[in-house]
Amino acid sequence: MAVIEQIIAGNWKMNLTLTQGQGFIDTLLTRLKGKELSRKLLLAPNFTLLSALAQRCAGSGIGLVAQNCAFQAAGAFTGETSVAMLKDVGAEYVLVGHSERRQIFGERDDLLRQKVNAVVSGGLIPIFCVGESLDQRQGGEAFDVVISQLRCGLAELPDSQLIVAYEPVWAIGTGRTATPEDARSMHLHIREFLVSQFSWGERVPILYGGSAKPENAAELLAQPEVNGLLVGGASLNPESFLQIAMA
Ligand code: 13P
């Protein structure tokens, strides 16, 4: 099995203003002084914070993630933000297919495939999110749903860097976390799919997301199949984000 550096990624969603985000980074960098973290840290703030946070994080090793992007490269698309624009202000990664984009904004598999392709051709790294709903899990469809999301979203992916995030919809923002065993078996399934599709499938980090917090991070991260966490609510506070990063 390839050795994969664990990743702790914070998704701030539509939270934290510029001032709050800068305060977060200042606290985080102060707390990190003199510490050797064995995990890579990523943060996904709102677009409006990217430029300022990129300057503050320069040289720290903390990577910045955009929460979304346009599938087009440029043009008359009012309200959209291209991958080139995100790269220009310091983003290195883009979340694609987060369940909130799928559910609230109706983003479907073919659109997400185009977004993945836009991210890769724009020179950034996609963090492709997948996950089943509660109904789908209870109906025994969880594996099929997740593999179908991967199959569609990654259908045209060239040889590139990629991160996958497994976020069961029923665990997002609910306080209900997948058991380490649930996470483990889904991650194994995802790994098998990636290895079957890509010669580099062994090296793709697979993150778990869904009510990850300081209290459950160590247990989840102890699963060899879990290569890191995508954290929502608990990433809004630098202390709890750091507790997870050091769990
Ligand atoms: P919570 O950690 O708040 O459940 O959110 C998870 C998530 O959606 C991260 O992208």
Structure tokens at 36: 């050797």
pLDDT at residue 36 in the model = 87
pLDDT tens profile 37-89: 999 999 999 999 999 999 999 999 999 999 999 999 999 999 999 999 999 99
210 lines ligand 1 (CB under 6 A): yes
Structure tokens at 240: 């709890």
Helix (H, G, I), strand (E, B) or coil at 78: coil
167 lines ligand 1 (CB under 6 A): yes
Of the candidates 107, 167, 187, 225, the residue annotated as catalytic is 167
What angle, 0 to 180 degrees and rounded to 10, lies between the N-to-C axes of helices 18-32 and 238-245? Answer: 40
Say how far apart CA 165 and CA 97 lie, in whole Å: 10
Q: Which of 7, 5, 47, 30 is nearest to 208 (CA)?
A: 7
HSE at residue 139, side-chain half, CA atoms within 13 A, is 8
Structure tokens at 112: 């997400």
> Which regions in the chain score pLDDT beneath 70?
1
Say how far apart CA 129 and CA 116 lie, in whole Å: 11
228 lines ligand 1 (CB under 6 A): no
pLDDT at residue 1 in the model = 67
Any residues with CB less than 8 A from the CB of 13 and at least 6 apart, and which? 67, 100, 232
Q: Which of 7, 11, 169 for a ligand 1 pocket mutation test, highest count of atoms within 8 Å of Cβ? A: 11
E strand or H helix that includes residue 95: strand 93-96
Say how far apart CA 230 and CA 88 lie, in whole Å: 24
Distance 178 CA to ligand 1 centre (A): 12
- Ligand 1 atom at minimum distance from 209 CA: 6
Distance 74 CA to ligand 1 centre (A): 30
Say how far apart CA 9 and CA 107 lie, in whole Å: 22
Structure tokens at 223: 């699963």
pLDDT at residue 131 in the model = 98
Encode 150-172 in three state secondary structure.
HHHHCCCCCCCCCEEEECCHHHC
Known catalytic residue at 98: yes
